[in-house]
A and B are shown apart, each in its own frame.
Chain A
């Protein structure tokens, strides 16, 4: 496996975690999952009598994609802890995407409840991947609590606003000794690439793919975006400069070739394209 993502000792070949929420139907979801190349997907826990429950699990098992249950919809630490325990029981995994949101309007994490739930679940033996604010201090506290990764938002869930505070994401990355997964806010492939260029270890997204006009194609775009951003990060980008710096070699004597006066003497043919 080339350049694997390693979380809690488990290696993944793909740095894209695709959520399964929002797809119009299972056939569309399947094509998107395959095109994304993802090896880990999120699912939500809901009452059995809600429709569409077992189809997703069967699909993920058939595709051999890992299941990461979330605690979406939970407002308190107690709710999130119970949901995580139920997910462990139902899905036989101690991994959890911990999500404790404050309100429906913003779906922003409730920091105090999140930290409380994270500590309890780590104590219970869970591998905790918390969806968190883009707050470097909170990210550090979650890591100290024993979380296996931190997952800061780029923007609120489902907004597609991209990464609103790249500086904070960079700060989180530079501080963290666990993987940083940019979670939420991604709108298009360049957002995913930016997350990786900022140093994130992976990207988690759902809506940007499942609600795109062509989810399968967008999944492929996200895969390429994540890979491009990762390669660019590893390659080391050039520093930004205020003034130009020619990339073409300079002419031997800039005075020799002139566009006026002695053109017959130094005929160079058609005007050369601008150097770039």
Chain B
């Protein structure tokens, strides 16, 4: 299935979880937050929340800013 992660369309295993997605993309789990289709996925739900085909995922962290 395909999902859009941080603006890039990616082919992912069907039913991949948020935690699985982060692992697959080699993204750190500390200091990041995930939004799935415009809603925050709390850290505690990362293993149980799964993506659907067409899901839009944003993975954010802190950078320098004013």
Contact = CB atoms under 8 A, between A and B. Distances in A.
The dominant DSSP class at the B interface is: strand
A57 B61 contact: yes
Contacts of B58: 47, 86
Contacts of A69: 62
Given A42-B65, A57-B62, A206-B66, A48 B28 contact: yes
A90 B31 contact: yes
Nearest to B65: A44
Interface stretch (A19-27, A140-148, A171-179): A19-27
Contacts, number: 110
16 contacts: A19-B64, A19-B65, A20-B64, A21-B64, A42-B66, A44-B65, A45-B65, A52-B64, A53-B61, A54-B31, A72-B65, A86-B40, A87-B33, A89-B34, A90-B33, A157-B66
Contacts of A21: 64-66
A129 B55 CA distance: 32
Interface string B41-66: 01100000000000000111111111
A52 B58 CA distance: 17
B33 A47 contact: no
A43 B30 CA distance: 16
Contact of B62 (A53, A82, A204, A206): A53
A50 B62 contact: no
Q: Which 6 A-B pairs have the closest CB atoms?
A: A44-B65, A206-B66, A19-B66, A90-B33, A89-B33, A21-B66
B27 A48 contact: yes
A36 interface: no
The dominant DSSP class at the A interface is: mixed
Interface residues of A, number: 40
B24 to A, nearest CB: 13
A43 B64 contact: yes
Nearest to B41: A89
A29 interface: yes
B35 interface: yes
A121 B29 CA distance: 25
Interface in A35-73: 42-50, 52-54, 56-57, 67, 69-70, 72
Contacts of B64: 19-23, 29, 43-44, 52, 56
B63 A46 contact: yes
A57 B30 CA distance: 10
B8 to A, nearest CB: 8
Given A47-B7, A48-B27, A48-B32, A90 B61 contact: yes
A82 B32 CA distance: 14
